[in-house]
Amino acid sequence: MGRDIYTEEHEAFRDMVRSFIAKEAAPHHEQWEKDGIVSREVWLAAGRAGLLGIDMPEEYGGGGNPDYRYYVIFNEELARAGIHGPAFAVHNDINGGYLRQLCTDEQQARWFPGYCSGEIITAIAMTEPAAGSDLQGIKTTAIKDGDDYVLNGSKTFISNGILADLVIVVAKTDPSAGAKGVSLLVVERGMDGFERGRNLDKVGLHAQDTAELFFDNVRVPAANLLGEEGMGFIYLMQNLARERLSIGATAQAAAEAAFEQTLDYCKTREAFGRPIGKFQHNRFTLAEMKTELTVTRAFTDQCIVKEGAGELSAEEAAMLKYWNTELLKTVVDRCVQLHGGYGYMTEYPIAKAYQDVRIQTIFGGTTEIMKEIIGRSLGV
């Protein structure tokens, strides 16, 4: 599949990422899945390789490169290799956007060096037990008291939740003001009253730590307010498009990987004296997937280019997230079927993919919410 949006420099970076994955992640991933968490060493290794904070200021150890395509390449190669344990995209694509845009000079000096080296791992805490897609319905509060905010509430399904040293917490600083009362606070490891609950037992993504977080009268210094008080909801809306692009682009790469693995399997696995890919039904199924992936790749790359130019709309990001994640689910399901009984064995990558991809249409905004965003943009 042609990728004319990339230069030789991008492809050299892709080669470096593949080497990093082969050395620092792939040999350990099976153990991480058993442990339910990755080693902090892989984060430090990513920092040494210059894979964290690619767009952060060079003075703090970042790459100083605003080209979003480098993050896409990193995410694509992780997806193709089936490496989901280290939630680098949460750190780079999502949290990096908030920190880069909103941190004061003092906050940058305090947090960015560790962020870029991998010594500081980040998470973002939006979802609550009773509030998922409805961010205006959050119950967590942060009430100003002198030079601090007193934070109370709980969050759940937080990626990097166990490992995180910094957590961007979405809270209501003015519970009576609705969306205009939402702010972002940075909670740091070790703050009194900040506790982590279970490392949640998920259907898939077993190597990725996903946690419950609890805040009991946590005194967060006003110096840890991210951006302006009351602007949190606007910041979320501004940054969610990139998060959804990241999920959609990663889903595309994962679907392509599943297809390529299955195509190879169909060329070598024999039944009734010939490769199973020779049967018309199977050949048609492969043809359908190849077509869908090729068409979707064109839109995905178009959105990547638009994001790099600052032109990607919320509606386009929603379309991409909805379409690509639903396509990933469909492609992987068909690929399992083509593998037959072996597709149900977890020693085969396609079986693990079947577990791992189910979350894609849920996190980052459900398919239903994506359709709502698109529908509203149509004036209906």
Show which residues are catalytic. 243
What string of H, E and C letters represents the secondary structure of 191-203? Answer: CCCEEEEEECCCC
Q: At what angle do helices 69-80 and 280-308 cross, to 10 degrees?
A: 150
- 326, 359 in Cβ contact below 8 A? no
State residue 168 phi and psi, 5-degree precision. -80, 115
Half-sphere exposure of residue 193: CA atoms within 13 angstroms, side-chain side? 13
C-alpha separations of 269 from 14, 106, 329, 348 in Å: 31, 60, 23, 14
CA 34 to chain centroid, in Å, comes to 21
Answer positive or negative: Cα dihedral of 336, 340, 341, 345.
negative
Residue 35 has which token pair?
Answer: 């442990």
CA 152 to chain centroid, in Å, comes to 26
The helix/strand/coil state of 351 is helix
Spatial separation of the C-alpha atoms in residues 88 and 80, rounded to whole Å:
15
Q: In sequence order, which ranges of the chain are alpha helices (DSSP H)? A: 8-20, 29-35, 40-48, 69-80, 88-89, 96-102, 105-117, 232-268, 280-308, 314-339, 349-356, 367-377
Q: Which residues pair with 155 in a beta bridge?
A: 213
The helix/strand/coil state of 217 is strand
Spatial separation of the C-alpha atoms in residues 356 and 352, rounded to whole Å:
6
Q: Which residues pair with 182 in a beta bridge?
A: 172
